[in-house]
Structures are given as C-alpha cells and as structure tokens.
Structure 1
Amino acid sequence: MKRKWLHGLAITALAFSLAGCGKSVQEQIEVGVASAETIFQEGAEVPNTTIGSIEVFVPKSYTVEQGANEMNYILTKDKDSYILFVNTNEQEDSKLHYDNLMADQTKNVVKSQEMESDEEFGFSAVVQHEDDKHYELIVSIGGIKMTTISEDRKIEDKLNTMMQIVRSVNIVK
C-alpha cells in the first residue's frame, strides 16, 4: 500500500514538473523571433526543391505546391498550412511588407523584429487575433513573405522553420 502511494505521488510530481517545463506563449514568441533573427544572420539553407519560378528549401515532412499564380506557393505540414508569397518586383532590401503591416491599425502586433544586413531587410512578427488563441506568424526578407495562422503552441518552431524557408528562396530567371 505504501509503495502505491509513493508511486502515485512520484507520478503526480513528475506531471507537475513537466507541465511547468512548457513555455508560455510570450516566451515562445520571444525565442521564436530571436531564432528567426539568428537564421537571417547565418545564411540560407541550400534549396532542395524547384517549383514554378523559385528554388526553395522545403524541410522534410512538408509539401509544397504552386498557388493561384507564380507569386504564391502553399506549404503544408500535417494540419498546418503556410503561404509563401514571392514578389519578384521587390528588391531584397524592400521594406514594403513591414511598412504595410505596421501601417495596418487593425493588426494587434504582439512582437516584431527588424533585421538588416548590407543588402537585405527582413523581419519577423507575431500578430494576435481577436480570439486571443490564434496568432498570425509572419517572416519576410525583401519581397518574399511567409505567413501562417497558429494556435498558442509551437510558435517558436514555426517561426524558425519559416525563416529557414524564406531565407532559402532563390528566384529562377
């Protein structure tokens, strides 16, 4: 009887400690945005897929297909969908996507981070939706932007992967 009680107590303690290990939404956002900035600074993954007018790194377990035109691509992983927008008319140092986001007063931007190098401008941002449980995740470099809608989990991982993908895009001329 004593062993069962101790065993139950140990399982309960483990459950509480594991629950405490999960990051809050704000922590996920902070780490995700910082991770995206690191990837921006480090350089691009080697593209492993050619579709439409782009070469792009597509992580394992993701699929990619061309959208309605050569500027839009849809990536999916499990139940998550991502939209990759490639505007070939914008330069790598374009701030168009960032300026449009910041000018939109209807957006509740929880966090945004600008990133610059000598030739490029990029940013990552998290926008909270009205229901407080969904977030729009955005990463962009120049005229290339990727977005997804996420519940309040895996935000950190998604921002990281999204920047890897955006960073890798090479426009085929």
Structure 2
Amino acid sequence: MKRKWLLATACLLLLFALTGCGKTVEEQIDSGVASAQTVFEENPQEPNTKLEGIELYVPSGYKAENSEDPNNFIVTKGQDSYILFVNQNETEDSKLHYQLLKDDKTKHIIKEETVEFDGAFGFTAVIEHDEEQFELVVSCGGIKMSTISEDKNIDEKLVDMMTIVRSVKLLEK
C-alpha cells in the first residue's frame, strides 16, 4: 500500500514539475481541481500533528495551530494562511458545506467538482474573489479548508489542502 502511495505521489510531483512553469490561471485551476479529486480518492495520509480535538497530516513547510474558536484551526505556509474548519456534528458524507456554497448567490464560482468515494462526500471549488485573487475551498464531510490566493500555485495549494482535509481525524473527548 505504501508503494502505491509513493508511486502516486511521485507521479503528481513529476506532473507538477513538467507543467508547473508558465501555466495560466485557468490551467492551474483545472489541474488543481483534477488533482485534488485524485487525492480525495486515495488513502488519507497518516496524521503527524495533534491539535485540540483533532489529529491531521501537515505537509512539509506548513504549520498548524489552534485558534480562539475551537472549530477553527490556522494553517500557514510562508505568507499563505488557511482556515481549517471542523464541524464535529457533521458526518463524512455531509453535503452541508457544499449546499452553503451553492446557496450563496454572492459567490462567483469559477470551477467546482464534487466527489463521492467510500461513503465520503467532498468537493473542490475556486471562487473569484477579485480580479487577481481567488478563494480556494476543499471539503470532506464536515471538514472544510479555505484560503484567499493570488494567481500563483493554485494547483499545488488545492492538492495540499485536500491532503490535509482528508487526513483529519477527530479525537475522543
């Protein structure tokens, strides 16, 4: 199983290396959404970080910490900040976050994809925030991660975000 994961990761890294230079925003979005879907359907990474009430996998270069709100966690990488929201009352097949996004008519969704796999529901969405910024959102059940991003590395951010979201495990209280 580890060999399969290593091979998939190597293929994704090779894909990023070969196509990472000079991609348009549209190409980054298409690639990122497709790759996030693939990550959703793979076995989640084993957690390597423990926070208040959850365990999660934090990729190299990222830092995760608690916030004042027990349902929100802050994840950072360099200048980029992400909000990880964990609704412990929602199950893995919950579509709540997706319905809330779709019902918000103020959001201009550029691209979205849903996925259902092994009893879990998830989605990836890119929303126009302004001319040069985009809101990136990934979700699995009651767990959602979002950030505001410039038009660089959108594809890589979506993959990392889905990797983190899929790894979250709730701890018994």
Into which bin does the TM-score normalised by the smaller protein fall?
0.7 to 0.9
Provide the C-alpha distance between the structure 2 equivalents of 1:117 and 1:164, rounded to a whole number of angstroms: 15
Provide the C-alpha distance between the structure 2 equivalents of 1:148 and 1:134, rounded to a whole number of angstroms: 10
Q: Percent identity?
A: 55
> Normalising to structure 1: TM-score of the pair?
0.86
Task: Name the amino acid aligned to 1:160.
Answer: V
In the alignment of these two chains, the number of paired residues is 152
Which residue number in structure 2 is paired with residue 140 of structure 1?
Answer: 139
Gaps of 5+ in 1: 1-20
Which residue number in structure 2 is paired with residue 96 of structure 1?
Answer: 96
Pairwise CA RMSD: 0.8
Moved over 2 A (4+): none
> Normalising to structure 2: TM-score of the pair?
0.86
1:161 aligns with 2:154: no
Provide the C-alpha distance between the structure 2 equivalents of 1:94 and 1:118, rounded to a whole number of angstroms: 13
Deviation at residue 135 of structure 1 after TM alignment: 0.2
Deviation at residue 40 of structure 1 after TM alignment: 0.4
Provide the C-alpha distance between the structure 1 equivalents of 2:87 and 2:109, rounded to a whole number of angstroms: 23
Where does 1:8-157 land on structure 2 (aligned, <5 Å)? 21-129=21-129, 131-157=130-156
Gaps of 5+ in 2: 1-20
Task: Name the amino acid aligned to 2:61.
Answer: S
Q: Deviations over 1:58-104 (max 9, x none)?
A: 11111111012221100111000000000000010000000000111
Deviation at residue 118 of structure 1 after TM alignment: 3.5
